[in-house]
Amino acid sequence: MLTVRVFSSAVPMAKPPKKSPAENEIQSIARNKRARHDYHILETWEAGLVLTGTEVKSLRDGRANISDAYGIIRDGEAFLLNLHISPYERGGYSNHEPDRTRKLLLHRKEIRRLIGAVERQGLTLIPLELYFKNGVAKVALALGKGKQLHDKRETERERDAQREMARVVRSR
């Protein structure tokens, strides 16, 4: 009688390669530098954007301007107006409209909170930054209350004082 032995060589499954830190980084596309100067920032959120293919390609080229953009809440949905994404150079007939209204992707609970703040309290929804996070386009939104001229001057005085103190400390 012939005995056959079968050896099972259980090869452990290869673990998927760990993502490098560069893949988890946030790649900034555009920043709204005037937002912190013109508004008191009260709260911030991260929201996704509904975009077309040519808009994403144009964003990857870094061709966006959010300085004039602002958010609104309409019919229980959040939208971003005046976000300028330049047309994609090699887009052809399927290119997008540069200043179209884009839908923001937020949870219903967040939208309800924004409705209360924007409509009842008279606050403004301001985009602070547009960026890619793990390959997905995101926008950092903030609730802001407009600054008066004297508030802006006070902020500049504080910034100058901080800069002067840092300069003195460095010189020692």
Global pTM exceeds 0.75: no
| pLDDT interval class at 140 (50, 70, 90) | very high
pLDDT, one tens digit per residue, over 14-35 is 555 555 555 568 888 989 888 8
The count of other CB atoms within 10 Å of the CB of residue 63 is 18
Which option is the CATH number for 25-167: 2.40.110.10, 2.60.40.1180, 3.40.50.280, 2.40.280.10?
2.40.280.10
Q: Is 7 exposed, middle or buried (0-12, 13-18, 19+ CB in 10 A)?
A: exposed
